[in-house]
Structure 1
Amino acid sequence: MSSAQKARFEGKAAVVTGGSRGIGAAVARRLVQEGAAVAIGYRGNKEAADALVAELGDGGGHAIAVQADVAVPEQTGALIARAVAEFGRLDVLASCAGVEHFDALEKITPADFDHVFAVNTRGQLFAVQHAVAHMSEGGRIVLTSSVSASRAFFGHTLYAASKAAVESMVLNLSAELGRKGITVNAIAPGGTATDMAAENSSNYLHPDLVGKQDPSEWIELGVALRRLAEPSEIAAGYAFLASADAAYMTGRTLQVDGGLF
């Protein structure tokens, strides 16, 4: 990382939801490495969030951990208010909290729908609402979609719909927030080496191949770079969209998928 990159977020403050593990933790690390003070939102894994704060502090960074379930908008509002109270400002929202879901159409319940959309869609919308109330011109918002929003997988309808809605929100919010000088974009990660991916990798296989093909073989055959992404590589996309380098980019979803085909 160049010295210019290290200073891209100097003096700025960020909130990262879902920041205790996986892609969210990598985003928090990247923003702190580049000079930002970061509030790490987590739902239940206090131990992991506190460990990350300690790690970042040992490296000379400024981070705090705040419990917040994004499915409860009031908790997200409290997280953002706490960040502003701690840092005196808010420049970046990286919305990384999300839940996975696989099930056949006949098995999806209204409770499943409500839970997935409460976290993946409603949670991100109200995170933006609370963040914008504290942002000034130059604010950056980066939401999280998925390549599943534009690619079919068996049993992934509910999850994919929740992420496709995020891309539509980003597009429409860009017009509204552009008047305030705030950009809003999304990242659509491809397969990434996280615990969530490990738990669900076999679900991405065609049903006729389950038990016959290892998910790693599918990755080698279906991704141009022939591997999963490292969380840090996805985090680089969030850092780009949150930086001044992306000042003229808004309303767009950036796919970071290693060349999925």
Structure 2
Amino acid sequence: MGALDGTKAIVTGSSRGIGAEVARLLAEDGAAVVVNYRQKAPRANRVVAGIEAAGGQALAVGADLTAPEGTKALVDAAVENFGGLNLLVLNASGGMEAGLGDDYALKLNRDAQVGMLNAAIEVMPAGSRVVFITSHQAHFINSVETMDAYEPVARSKRAGEDALRELIPALTERGISFVVVSGDMIEGTVTATLLDRAAPGAIEARRQEAGRLYSVEEFAAEIFKMVSADVPTGHTEYVGGAEHFTR
């Protein structure tokens, strides 16, 4: 029995990296978790296998969040396999990948986030929680410049956060809380790798500026804490390096 026993969760973008680690932590504490992937089924299945080997409960579901049928598939999977949904972790993000179109960042980081939340709240009961994951570079983009290669992604993620925050009154009416977790660049993530490829030395420069960057495991642990933290709806939890953006 864990503290999250009875929790039924969806973690978007959880076949690797931060999302996979969050899914593992949730399951370790008793939650049943829908592990979402877009294309890499074997990778998601390995996440599920690891959770099950440790005694947890999880299910891998392939779904493109930019399509309405994708968000519906995730919600249906949670309801049909776990009996409901009371935790949604909006972790999926992107926009630096090649070949997906100039508007992909906005489609994924804003439109898909809103679409996923709107699909989820139809089945989420009072007492549920929604956690949105972002970066300091995106959260503060309207007041602090970021790296050129990351700016389109940052602006699309800020647009996503703003659009989700507009839904807080509707969430509050349903008794659902909404929390944002904002972190600095995270060591070892796809975004950090692509950014360093586009602007060699960018991650090292940010590391020097911040003092240190969090690892995937460290950042996931902070996200995990906010799943049940006693904070008001709309709260933003800053993880590492925020002083640079607020001074």
TM-score (normalizing by structure 2): 0.88
Residue 60 (structure 1) shift: 0.2
Map 1:243-254 → 2, pairs under 5 A: 243=228, 245-246=229-230, 248-254=231-237
Residue 186 (structure 1) shift: 1.9
Q: Which amino acid aligns with 1:27?
A: V
Residue 170 (structure 1) shift: 3.4
- Residue aligning to 2:216: 231
Map 1:13-52 → 2, pairs under 5 A: 13-52=8-47
Q: Which amino acid aligns with 1:252?
A: H
Q: Which amino acid aligns with 1:163?
A: K
Q: Which amino acid aligns with 1:178?
A: T
Moved more, 128-137 or 93-102: 93-102
The whole-number CA distance in structure 1 between the counterparts of 2:151 and 2:81 is 40
The whole-number CA distance in structure 1 between the counterparts of 2:69 and 2:221 is 29
- Residue aligning to 1:161: 155
Moved more, 15-24 or 143-152: 143-152
Map 1:125-204 → 2, pairs under 5 A: 125-149=114-138, 150=140, 151-152=144-145, 153-196=147-190, 197-203=192-198
Number of aligned pairs? 238
Q: Which runs of 5+ in 1 are unaligned?
A: 1-5, 104-108
The yes-or-no answer on 1:121 pairing with 2:104 is: no
2:166 aligned counterpart, secondary structure: helix
The whole-number CA distance in structure 2 between the counterparts of 1:238 and 1:56 is 18
Aligned counterpart in structure 1 of residue 80 of structure 2, from 85, 105, 109: 85
The whole-number CA distance in structure 2 between the counterparts of 1:171 and 1:42 is 25
Residue 182 (structure 1) shift: 0.2
Q: Which runs of 5+ in 2 are unaligned?
A: none
- Residue aligning to 1:112: 102
The whole-number CA distance in structure 1 between the counterparts of 2:15 and 2:66 is 16
Summarize the Cα distance change of 1:55–1:172 in structure 2 as closer, same or farther, 3 Å threshold. same
Summarize the Cα distance change of 1:52–1:157 in structure 2 as closer, same or farther, 3 Å threshold. same
RMSD between superposed Cα atoms in Å: 2.3
Residue 221 (structure 1) shift: 2.1
The whole-number CA distance in structure 1 between the counterparts of 2:97 and 2:71 is 26
Overall identity of the aligned pairs, in %: 32
Residue 215 (structure 1) shift: 4.4
Measured against aligned partners, the alpha-carbon deviations of 1:67-103 in whole angstroms (never above 9, x if no partner) come to: 0011112211111111111000111001111113399
2:11 aligned counterpart, secondary structure: strand
